[in-house]
């Protein structure tokens, strides 16, 4: 018996190849679905074979790794597929602040996946028939202020700028939240479907009520190889192709945004270098165009030197300068002082890990925490010494529109 895990017996896991399931989201039952999808490929899941709330504190990733090592190590696994994402998989969401409660790991009972022309089904324990019901619209949505009103948040930005100009730090990231209340219980599957269709280049995710479409891949581990995508520096999309190109060129030429991006890249370099025997980072960023914004982006690749799992890499990288700031501790102090809220899972790591240590984890951006008919929406902006509060507010509002679209359609 796994007393520490609260399980009466080891997990019995079976993975088999299946025919193409079509739209993965269309296979989900309504209750508490899990998902990680990009361009129609990835994993969806439901049910809970095991679940744990990860204790807060600086050792939380080590604790999570040990929990997973025990539960996966004791499992009886019949896996005909043997590829990243087959066999037992845990979905996870970690809070942004290590001292905040709410980090969770879940091993779903049923996992349906598709990647590189193959599809497979993983079941744990007795196979269940879960009823797939039609998607339900939440009805009219009413919005309200979150922790700060718009003017209060602009004031917080101005205070952060003064801290930066004083020399205390180089950059911080300030987030704001909005509340949303629907007429009816929010159907997570509807949000996932809308997000995946509108933002196919992003990673559409669902874990323990945290729903979103993040453009930022924190890390993908496939054997010894890892990949990451650094995003920092943002501008809205234009009203025409010419306007788009002009905005992109201005972003690429912006000293403020280029420096913000450099800070983010260097934080990733510092985190990954001790873990990697090889690390490749481009000298210049590229432009990533999404339906609502453009980002400066730098794809990073590397080879792990000591067989670390994807969760070990997540532990080393979080929080990146893209969502925290530079230097990290000073930036986190400013965030705690000025934001006036607990970010919960926003800007924390979200993703999945399998028994081989492979997996994909993103930064939980463009997201909302859903509970019944209520949602809490999040967005954040990198604040530098020359940041303008009104411009930062406009950028945050552009990012919030991702989840507003998911709710309203």
Residue 49 in this model has a pLDDT that exceeds 90: yes
Residues, the chain, total?
A: 409
By the 10 Å C-beta count (0-12 exposed, 13-18 middle, 19+ buried), 56 is classed as middle
Q: What is the pLDDT of residues 208-267, one digit of tens each?
A: 999 999 999 999 999 999 999 998 888 988 889 999 999 999 999 999 889 889 988 998
Q: What is the mean pLDDT of the chain?
A: 94
User: How far is the C-alpha of 86 from the C-alpha of 80, rounded, in Å?
Assistant: 9
Which residue is associated with the tokens 């501008």? 235
pLDDT band at 2 (very low <50, low <70, confident <90, very high): very low
Active-site residue, from 30, 154, 171, 260:
171
Based on the residue annotation, tell me whether 399 is a catalytic residue of this protein: no
Q: Are strands 359-363 and 217-222 parallel, antiparallel or unpaired?
A: antiparallel
Whether the per-residue pLDDT at 67 is higher than 80: the answer is: yes
Give whichever of 254-268, 283-297, 340-354 has the largest mean pLDDT. Answer: 340-354
Q: CA 172, CA 317: separation in Å to the nearest integer?
A: 16
Residue 256: predicted pLDDT: 87
Buried b (16+ CB within 10 A) or exposed e, 100-109: eebbbbbbbb
Q: What is the pLDDT of residues 108-124, one digit of tens each?
A: 999 999 999 999 999 99
- Residue identified by tokens 């939240």 is 177
pLDDT in tens, 358-368: 999 999 999 99
Exactly one of 30, 216, 260, 339 is catalytic; which is it? 216
């Amino acid at each position: 018996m796994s007393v520490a895990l609260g399980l009466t017996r080891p997990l019995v896991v079976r993975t088999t190849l299946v025919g193409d399931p079509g739209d993965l989201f269309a296979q989900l039952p309504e209750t508490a679905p899990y998902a990680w999808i990009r361009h129609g490929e990835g994993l969806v899941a439901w049910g809970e074979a095991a679940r744990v709330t990860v204790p807060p504190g600086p050792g939380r990733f080590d604790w999570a790794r040990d929990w997973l090592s025990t539960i996966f190590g004791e499992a009886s696994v019949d896996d005909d597929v043997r590829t990243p994402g087959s066999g037992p998989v845990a979905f996870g969401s970690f809070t942004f602040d290590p001292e905040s409660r709410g980090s969770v790991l879940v091993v779903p009972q049923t996992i349906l996946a598709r990647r590189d022309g193959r599809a497979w089904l993983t079941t744990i324990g007795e196979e269940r028939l879960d009823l797939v019901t039609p998607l339900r619209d939440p009805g009219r949505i009413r919005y309200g202020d979150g922790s700060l009103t718009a003017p209060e948040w602009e004031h917080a930005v101005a205070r952060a700028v003064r801290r930066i100009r004083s020399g205390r730090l180089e950059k911080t990231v300030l987030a704001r939240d909005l509340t949303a209340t629907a007429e009816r219980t929010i159907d997570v599957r509807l949000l996932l479907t809308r997000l995946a269709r509108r933002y196919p280049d992003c990673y559409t995710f669902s874990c323990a009520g945290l729903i979103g479409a993040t453009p930022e891949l924190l890390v993908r581990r496939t054997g010894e190889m890892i990949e990451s995508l650094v995003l920092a520096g943002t501008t809205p999309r234009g009203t025409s192709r010419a306007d788009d190109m002009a905005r992109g060129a201005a972003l690429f030429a912006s000293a403020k945004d280029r420096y913000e991006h450099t800070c983010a890249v260097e934080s990733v370099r510092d985190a990954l270098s001790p873990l990697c025997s090889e690390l490749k980072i481009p000298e210049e960023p590229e432009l990533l165009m999404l339906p609502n914004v453009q980002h400066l982006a730098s794809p990073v690749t590397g080879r792990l030197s000591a067989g670390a799992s994807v969760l070990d890499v997540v532990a080393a990288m979080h929080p990146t300068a893209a969502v925290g700031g530079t230097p990290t501790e000073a930036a986190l102090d400013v965030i705690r002082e000025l934001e006036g809220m607990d970010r919960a899972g926003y800007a924390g790591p979200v993703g999945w890990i399998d028994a081989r240590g492979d997996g994909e984890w993103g930064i939980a951006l463009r997201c909302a925490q859903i509970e019944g008919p209520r949602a809490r929406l999040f967005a954040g902006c990198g604040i530098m010494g020359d940041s303008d509060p009104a411009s930062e507010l406009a950028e945050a509002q552009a990012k919030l529109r991702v989840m507003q679209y998911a709710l309203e359609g």
